């Protein structure tokens, strides 16, 4: 099997890289945090000394990093991928970053004859672990076709949505819809509870109709059971909504609902809930209404 590079072994990158190893790929890995690097080494991966070193040993390099500045540093900075990658190499950035940043990085790589795809994911840590992420890809079709088998070891679906940057545009659209769904669900559940109606019965009554959604089925039971361990952290959704608003401002698209939910999440962060699951958005409404959503049946 082909040898791949993997830079970024955090909450998402670590399980994704483990799934690649399980599928039989050889890996050269790097992260600034020693513990996950050691864990991957014990699982059979080779350890690189820098992103540049990883790139020098592989032709396909996957990155999974927190945000745009981290990607720019790992790819274009000192000892970055661009310094070690061979001409014709392919960088697959699976981080969720600003689309304009993805295009900027891709343009710099192209000057050296290095190809790039942006391929952010949806599904959070649970789906990263079981290899069922949804992967949204931007870039050339030939490059996408080349890495599709690799992507399918980490996700249940991978869709090419356009040129470089389109993957992250799609991810931002996804994050808008998810955030607004959770906010609407929270608002509805708090209203039902305050009026004295069992929120679980409301959920059961409406989930099969037009109001029903994957978000509702994923988050309503956790809200009622008071389970707010991530999942997908509020701090990460704040990061994504920051990229949403930055991109909207850059291209002239007002995003009023995204801005409101962003401020709700900022309020929760100030209240010390930044590392809770984004389903904890219900606690913003609970604080306003002085009520707690709980399963009664």
Please give the pLDDT value at position 124: 86
Taking a C-beta distance cutoff of 8 angstroms, is the pair 185, 215 a contact? yes
Please give the pLDDT value at position 231: 81
Please give the pLDDT value at position 93: 98
List, in sequence order, the alpha helices (H) in the chain.
13-22, 34-42, 51-56, 68-76, 81-84, 99-111, 124-130, 141-152, 166-195, 199-206, 214-224, 234-251, 256-270, 282-289
Predicted TM-score (pTM) of the model is: 0.92
Please give the pLDDT value at position 199: 98
- DSSP letters, 136-181, are EEES-HHHHHHHHHHHHTTEEEEEEEESTTHHHHHHHHHHHHHHHH
Please give the pLDDT value at position 1: 78
Please give the pLDDT value at position 6: 98
Q: How far apart are CA 68 and CA 51, in angstroms?
A: 16
Please give the pLDDT value at position 126: 87
Report all structural domains of the chain as residue ranges with CATH numbers, in order of start: 3-121 (3.40.50.720), 170-289 (1.10.1040.10)
Query: Is the Cα dihedral 88, 60, 119, 238 positive or negative?
Result: negative
Q: How far apart are CA 91 and CA 22, in angstroms?
A: 21
Integer CA distances (angstroms), 152 to 50, 81, 119, 130, 258, in order = 27, 24, 12, 12, 31
Which residues are bridge partners to 191 per DSSP? none
Catalytic residues, by residue number, are: 171
Average pLDDT per consecutive 10 residues, the chain (297 residues; last block may be shorter): 95 97 98 98 98 98 97 98 98 97 98 98 92 98 98 98 98 97 98 98 98 97 96 93 96 98 98 97 98 92
Please give the pLDDT value at position 233: 92
């Amino acid at each position: 099997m082909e040898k791949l590079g993997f830079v970024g072994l955090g909450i998402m990158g670590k399980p994704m890289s483990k799934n690649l190893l399980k599928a039989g790929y050889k890996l050269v890995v790097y992260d600034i945090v020693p513990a996950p690097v050691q864990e991957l080494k014990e699982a059979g991966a080779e350890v690189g000394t820098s992103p540049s070193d990883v790139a020098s040993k592989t032709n396909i390099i996957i990155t999974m990093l927190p945000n745009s500045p981290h990607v720019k540093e790992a790819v274009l900075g000192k000892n970055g991928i661009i310094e070690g990658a061979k001409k014709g190499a392919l960088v697959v950035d699976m981080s969720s970053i600003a689309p304009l940043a993805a295009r900027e990085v891709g343009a710099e790589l192209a000057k050296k004859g290095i190809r790039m795809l942006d391929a952010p994911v949806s599904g959070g840590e649970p789906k990263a672990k079981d290899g069922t992420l949804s992967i949204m890809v931007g870039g050339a079709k030939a490059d996408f076709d080349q890495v599709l088998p690799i992507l399918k070891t980490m996700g249940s679906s991978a869709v090419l949505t356009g040129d470089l940057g389109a993957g992250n545009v799609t991810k931002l659209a996804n994050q808008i819809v998810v955030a607004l769904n959770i906010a609407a669900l929270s608002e509805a559940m708090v209203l039902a509870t305050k009026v004295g109606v069992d929120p679980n019965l409301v959920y059961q009554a409406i989930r099969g109709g037009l109001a029903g959604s994957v978000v509702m089925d994923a988050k309503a039971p956790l809200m009622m059971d008071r389970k707010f361990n991530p999942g997908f952290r509020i701090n990460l959704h704040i990061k994504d909504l920051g990229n949403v608003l930055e991109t909207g401002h850059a291209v002239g698209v007002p995003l009023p609902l995204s801005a409101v939910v962003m401020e709700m999440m900022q309020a929760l962060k100030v209240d010390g809930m930044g590392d809770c699951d984004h389903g904890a958005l219900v606690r913003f409404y609970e604080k306003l209404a002085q009520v707690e959503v709980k399963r009664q049946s």
